[in-house]
Amino acid sequence: MRIDADHPEAHDAYASLAALLERHGGWLSPDLVVHQRGSDLWASTDGTADASDRLIWIPRPLLVPISGLSWHDEDELALRDDGGRLSPLQREILDAMLRLYRVTGKLAWSRRHLPAVALAAGDPLRVDLSRWCPHFDWPEGVAEAFLRTRRLPLKHDGQREPVLFPIGEILNHHPEGTRLRVEPEHGLRIRRAGPADDAQCYARYRSRDALDLLLGCGYAALQTRCALSLSLEIELAGLGRLRICRTSHRPAQDLPHVQYSPGQLSLSHLNFHCDKPGRSLALLRIVIGGLPLPPSRREALALEAHEALAAANLDAWRQLRQQALRVIADGHHLPVHGMLVEVAEHQQRLIGLAAAVA
């Protein structure tokens, strides 16, 4: 592994992590290059690696569980107590990772880019985002908010436990990136993946849309090809309320969970996918097809529901975009406001393409 860093302490932190991994059974590709410029961290390869080549191997004992950590000072990521849950090796790895985060100003970055930190509790943008994304658990404190951007879920004793994974966590998101999957008994294998003409190494952060990635990771992922419906309700004559809950990160091909009740039909999620523009309408046809109505009426309801849901989503995104633009015009804006505008425009494009099929 080669280190390309413009800050000597970042170089030292990277070197410490690499030495710890390799000394304790981990493996780093000799083609791997880890980069640091200001607060930006990323990885690339300088050889002829392809998507089948190994990049990083992190054994299970080197993954660092982070639930239950407490901080002396959130503003400095100074750990007070690990609750006795970390081994000496895990604590050493965590200390090196925290040193890298401190020297690269990741908490200052979080205050400007992460909606959970940058938007105050009463901010109208946060109020709307909370209503439209009820699944998102707004963290308390900047340290927790930032560490959420670096974690992976590990299944342990039937539970999902968040863990940090050294070096590999600097891989940025791309739809063509490698899937990050922790093998509970073994560890984490990371392979080189990404666009063929790009030396940077990428990960794929589950099946998420641009809004989830902005809320959870603090950046505008404009390569995404699908937009999950916001959580909202519409009224349909002869049916009552149709509610989209947005409670699931399911892939585009998965059927939503459906609940029928008198006067209301609820879906866990609905995905507008621009590469599969007929899918959202097809899903609504399946869902509404279960209602005790004449076939012609079910088809009309599906078309009406699809059009109304697309329109409601587009209206919501236009509203959010205008709010963010007003903040920018007032001159008191942060990078998060510009990213909200970008994501709003991106989601509108995707929904418009997916809805055009009807």
Higher pLDDT, 130 or 69: 130
Domains of the chain, by residue range, sit at 2-114+149-205, 226-355
pLDDT at residue 227 in the model: 93
Encoded tokens for 159: 């539970």
Amino acid at 151: R
pLDDT at residue 93 in the model: 96
- Could you say which architecture CATH assigns to the domain 2-114+149-205? Alpha-Beta Complex (3.90)
Q: Distance (Å, rounded) from C-alpha 305 to C-alpha 77?
A: 48
Task: Give the residue-averaged pLDDT of 181-195.
Answer: 83
Q: Distance (Å, rounded) from C-alpha 218 to C-alpha 207?
A: 16
Global pTM value: 0.89
Residue 138 has a CB neighbour count (10 Å cut-off) of: 15
- pLDDT tens track for 1-24: 999 999 999 999 999 999 999 999
Task: Give the residue-averaged pLDDT of 264-269.
Answer: 90
pLDDT at residue 40 in the model: 92
pLDDT at residue 64 in the model: 93
What is the pLDDT of the chain when averaged over all its residues?
A: 88
Spatial strand order of the sheet with 159-164 comes to 64-65, 159-164, 151-156
Q: Distance (Å, rounded) from C-alpha 143 to C-alpha 103?
A: 15
By percentage, how much of the chain surpasses pLDDT 90?
Answer: 52
- pLDDT tens track for 28-68: 999 999 999 999 999 999 875 554 588 999 999 999 998 88
Q: Distance (Å, rounded) from C-alpha 150 to C-alpha 294?
A: 51
pLDDT at residue 155 in the model: 77
CA 154 to chain centre: 16
Encoded tokens for 203: 């990960």
pLDDT at residue 50 in the model: 52
Q: Distance (Å, rounded) from C-alpha 275 to C-alpha 106?
A: 35
Strand pairing class (258-261; 151-156) = unpaired
In the predicted structure, residue 156 carries a pLDDT above the cut 60:
yes
Higher pLDDT, 183 or 62: 62
Higher pLDDT, 187 or 181: 187
By percentage, how much of the chain surpasses pLDDT 70?
Answer: 94
Task: Give the residue-averaged pLDDT of 292-317.
Answer: 92
Q: For the ranges 129-143, 235-249, 328-342, which has the lowest average pLDDT?
A: 235-249
